Amino acid sequence: MTRTYLDHAASTPMRPVAIEAVAVELSRTGNPSSLHGSGRAARKRVEECREQIAAAVGAHPTEVVFTSGGTESDNLAVLGGFAAARRRGRDVVVCAATEHHAVLDTVHRLGTAGATVEVVGVDAEGRPDPEALAALVDRYADRLGVVSVMAANNETGVCTDLDAVVAAGRRSPALLHSDAVQLVGQRPFSFADSGLDAVSLTGHKLGGPVGTGALLLRRDAAVDPIQFGGGQERELRSGTLDVAGIAGFAAAVDAAVAALATEQPRRAALRDRLVAGVLAAVPGSRLNGGGERLPGIANLEFAGADADAVLMLLDRAGIDCSTGSACSAGLAQPSHVLLAMGRDPRQARSALRFSLGHPSTEADVAALLAALPEAVERGRLASAA
């Protein structure tokens, strides 16, 4: 059976240019921390990749700190930024209610260790409330250590007004961080222009290998390491660098950003056709999230249906999608993102995420629209049983 893949927000296929870059480096040997010729060659390749990524995302090469992916980058920004802030008497951390668990759970862990935690709510469309954020900044003033608000939500595709986040956050000495794992490669982004102190990226969301990523970190930002060893990556992230993974990551970032002018409108048009087709073909369906959205994500609710049942019925029909974040897959609980948007648990359990990527086509959308009405009907029967 030929499968229709509509879960690119979880992981998208590697781009040919990234596969080629990985393959080339896998044929070579050399630890980039070694001083001999092979080590120096590996280091040279790493630094070329650092420059390539920096140029694509509007950063200085020294601001690119390589990590194993988005989760590690988020943890380094939040935990490391808070550790540095706490040494200066700043013990408050703020995030949005719809953050990825890599941020949300990390923030709550800090709360159990004595930090003061504040979570900013979102409106019914999933947009963080800038006035509530500004009020928290003013309330805590010099006690604020870290503010982390994601650039675009991984479940709904809703984009945050980062200018408003930065405008509020700059009234304090806090480290301003954003998880841009979903945004980079789908919409234009410049770290230099953003006003942020730290931004998380990962390779496998834009056509690179799993297990590679970066934290863009302003050169004068105060962040403590959270793991220790050889002191690689500005003494913030110790560990032998994965040259092959970094090469694939850099190639994917470069390719994704270079294709934005044509790929962003193409993917948005596919998404709009998917949404319009679903709303027309499935009575009782509703789009979750509004305002500015990523071109590749559509979160749709099917009133009265069991989303897990619909997902498995679509899976049997050869269609891959998701009930939300892949990192939370298999957990019997409604989406915290949809609950924060005001949906009740039953509504949250009736939603599916369809996400498009660089290989997505009109045929993928057509396959979904052909299979979905029956799957939802049967899912509603399962829910009523």
Whether the CB-CB separation of 80 and 224 falls below 8 Å is answered with yes
Measure Cα distances from 91 to 172, 175, 275, 377 in Å: 13, 12, 43, 51
Whether the CB-CB separation of 126 and 337 falls below 8 Å is answered with yes
β-pairing, 285-288 with 213-217? Answer: unpaired
Annotated catalytic residue: which of 95, 159, 321, 327?
327
Task: Provide φ and ψ at 289, rounded to 5°.
Answer: 100, 140
327 a catalytic residue: yes
Query: Residue 133's CB: how many other CB atoms inside 10 A?
Result: 23
Task: Provide φ and ψ at 60, rounded to 5°.
Answer: -85, 145
Rounded to whole angstroms, how far apart are CA atoms 1 and 55? 41
Query: What amino acid positions are annotated as catalytic residues?
Result: 327
